[in-house]
Amino acid sequence: MQLPYAEPFRIKMVETIKRSTREEREQWIKDAKYNLFNLKSEQVFVDLLTDSGTGAMSDKQWSEMMIGDESYAGASSFYKMKDAIKNILGFDYFLPTHQGRAAENVLFSVLVKEGDIVPGNSHFDTTKGHIEYRKATAVDCTIDEAFDTTIQHDFKGNINLEKLEKTFNDYPMAKIPMVIVTVTCNSSGGQPVSMQNIKDVHALCKKYGTLVMFDSARFAENAYFIKKREAGYADKSIKEIVKEMYTYADAMTMSSKKDAIVNMGGFIGFKDEDLYKQASVFGIIFEGFVTYGGMSGRDMNALAQGLDEGTEFPFLESRVEQVAYLGNKLKEYGVPVQEPFGGHAIFVDAKRFLPHLPKENFVAQTLAVELYLEGGVRGVEIGAILADRDPVTRENRYPALELLRLAIPRRTYTNNHMDYIAASLKNVFDRKEGITSGVKILKEAPIMRHFTVELDRL
Ligand SMILES: *Cc1c(COP(=O)(O)O)cnc(C)c1O
């Protein structure tokens, strides 16, 4: 028989987590105003809020922490990170930042002006936030297949080239500073972009004269899917595929809390020295001097090591296959999940789970609350609350998909936890007809409301 995808590591240190009773959880979620971001982590048994910064570092990363160089300027840790970025991603210039959105803030301070248009594939919420904050517009050019969770498509993160070219024709190119290719596409379900699509987007951008920027949080998972699914890549290593992907990028922003397996950190990679120099000015204002940019030396060391470990096939295989293990369990139970499974998370299709709830009742958020009540499992809404209001009309935006995201932290939970999560969700599924109301908004922030929104049950 085929051997299972056992983890290519063993556990050296453990952290206790506690189960709770349904009565306790009823009180806690009420106190949290039905916003799972407001729960204390000790009120959560299995935390799938995000895979961002929640992974387990390796013994080698912890060793690197001990030899971090905390010099203000020119630290050896900076050069370690520089070498890793050059060797693994191929960028000559980089700026460290404290996390991914900080990288966006610094880079977009140079590139994005009021009235600009920034096409891309399902822009991530912070990315969109940084575009809209500058009074520019994000135009989503993702292929239509991405918005039907039942369609099987190997690369649902792909950009539709006709939509992209139409955007190029609809606006003066001077207003389109870059195209953002998100690898993998977080908001549309952790879906990858094919190498062919990356090549085609790059060719179109060069024909029209604009930059290609990769939003890179899960670039290694993207490379894993290219290896598994795209013709011609089966025999290439992840590192070879990653190198090739980035030959088609002018710049990248990185949330290192994802595929570089650190708890905090980010960076911007540049091919062009001039763009690097312009961005350095904002890097210094917002983040810190160019050789640390909001990061400790020890964290830069761990990041450099994490980039190497995160682009190793055995690790990626066990990670992505653990996510698929959960997805398959849920499918067995009849729970509607997005397919194919994403790299970092399983996305439950809340509209198909609770078809009787109107969209105004925030379907995915309702499901997230029910899953928490059932098993103390914390997922996150990727739906109308996250989609926020239209910046001009201030109307609620109701996205095509209402998803409950179950993000799996790297190297953190075992498959027993996956079984626990699946059983919890099955129990909710079995009583779904009894879930007849939903939630309403009491209070919300003007931008990125999902973090702080206060809700009540209808
Ligand atoms: C997480 C993420 C970001 C933002 O990074 P932070 O480190 O959370 O600031 C940007 N883009 C994508 C695709 C992400 O997944």
Residues 327-379 have pLDDT tens digits of 999 999 999 999 899 999 999 999 999 999 999 999 999 999 999 999 999 99
Kindly tell me if the per-residue pLDDT of 188 is higher than 80: no
Kindly tell me if the per-residue pLDDT of 84 is higher than 80: yes
Of ligand 1's listed atoms, the one at least distance from the Cα of 102 is: 9
- 173 within some domain: yes
Long-range contacts: 134-143, Cβ < 8 Å, 24+? 134/108, 136/112, 138/180, 139/167, 141/167, 142/185, 142/188
Looking at 278, 295, 310, the residue that finishes a domain is: 310
Looking at 310, 329, 362, the residue that finishes a domain is: 310
CA distances from 217 to 130, 300, 367, 405, 451 (A): 16, 16, 27, 17, 20
125 with 34, same domain?
no
pLDDT score at 432: 97
- 101 C-alpha to ligand 1 centroid (Å): 6
114 with 250, same domain?
yes
Kindly tell me if the per-residue pLDDT of 198 is higher than 80: yes
450 with 366, same domain?
yes
Burial class (CB in 10 A: 0-12, 13-18, 19+), 184: buried
| CA atoms of 292 and 71, how far apart (whole Å) | 9
Nearest CA to ligand 1 atom 1: 255
Nearest CA to ligand 1 atom 10: 100
Looking at 281, 310, 339, the residue that finishes a domain is: 310
| CA atoms of 152 and 432, how far apart (whole Å) | 26
318 with 306, same domain?
no
- 6 within some domain: no
How does strand 403-407 pair with strand 345-349?
A: antiparallel
How many distinct structural domains can be found in the chain?
A: 2
- 131 C-alpha to ligand 1 centroid (Å): 14
- 374 within some domain: yes
pLDDT grade for 220, boundaries at 50, 70 and 90: very high
142 with 157, same domain?
yes
258 with 281, same domain?
yes
26 with 78, same domain?
no
pLDDT grade for 391, boundaries at 50, 70 and 90: confident
256-298 pLDDT, tens per residue? Answer: 999 999 999 999 999 999 999 999 999 999 999 999 999 999 9
Ligand 1 pocket, 215 CB below 6 A? Answer: yes
- 14 within some domain: no
Ligand 1 pocket, 184 CB below 6 A? Answer: no
- 199 within some domain: yes
| CA atoms of 221 and 225, how far apart (whole Å) | 6
89 with 185, same domain?
yes
- 15 within some domain: no
108 with 242, same domain?
yes
pLDDT score at 94: 98
135 lies in which domain range?
59-310
Q: 3-class DSSP state for residue 15?
A: coil
CATH of the domain at 175: 3.40.640.10
Ligand 1 pocket check: which of 50, 104, 124 to mutate, most ligand atoms within 8 Å of Cβ?
124
| CA atoms of 103 and 39, how far apart (whole Å) | 28
pLDDT score at 415: 96
CATH of the domain at 26: 3.90.1150.10
**Region 231-257 average pLDDT:** 98
Ligand 1 pocket check: which of 108, 188, 255, 287 to mutate, most ligand atoms within 8 Å of Cβ?
255
Active site residues: 72, 124-125, 215, 217, 258, 450
Give percent above pLDDT 70 in the chain.
100
42 with 121, same domain?
no
Judge if pTM exceeds 0.85: yes
Q: What are phi and psi of 378, to 5 degrees?
A: -105, 110
pLDDT score at 125: 86
- 124 C-alpha to ligand 1 centroid (Å): 7
Residue 74 tokens read as 């020119």
pLDDT score at 213: 98
pLDDT score at 150: 82
- 393 C-alpha to ligand 1 centroid (Å): 27
pLDDT score at 400: 87
- 17 within some domain: no
pLDDT score at 151: 87
- 434 C-alpha to ligand 1 centroid (Å): 36
404 with 299, same domain?
no
Nearest CA to ligand 1 atom 5: 100
Ligand 1 pocket, 266 CB below 6 A? Answer: yes
258 with 317, same domain?
no
- List 214's β-bridge partners, or say none: 181, 252
395-404 pLDDT, tens per residue? Answer: 999 998 899 9
- 16 within some domain: no
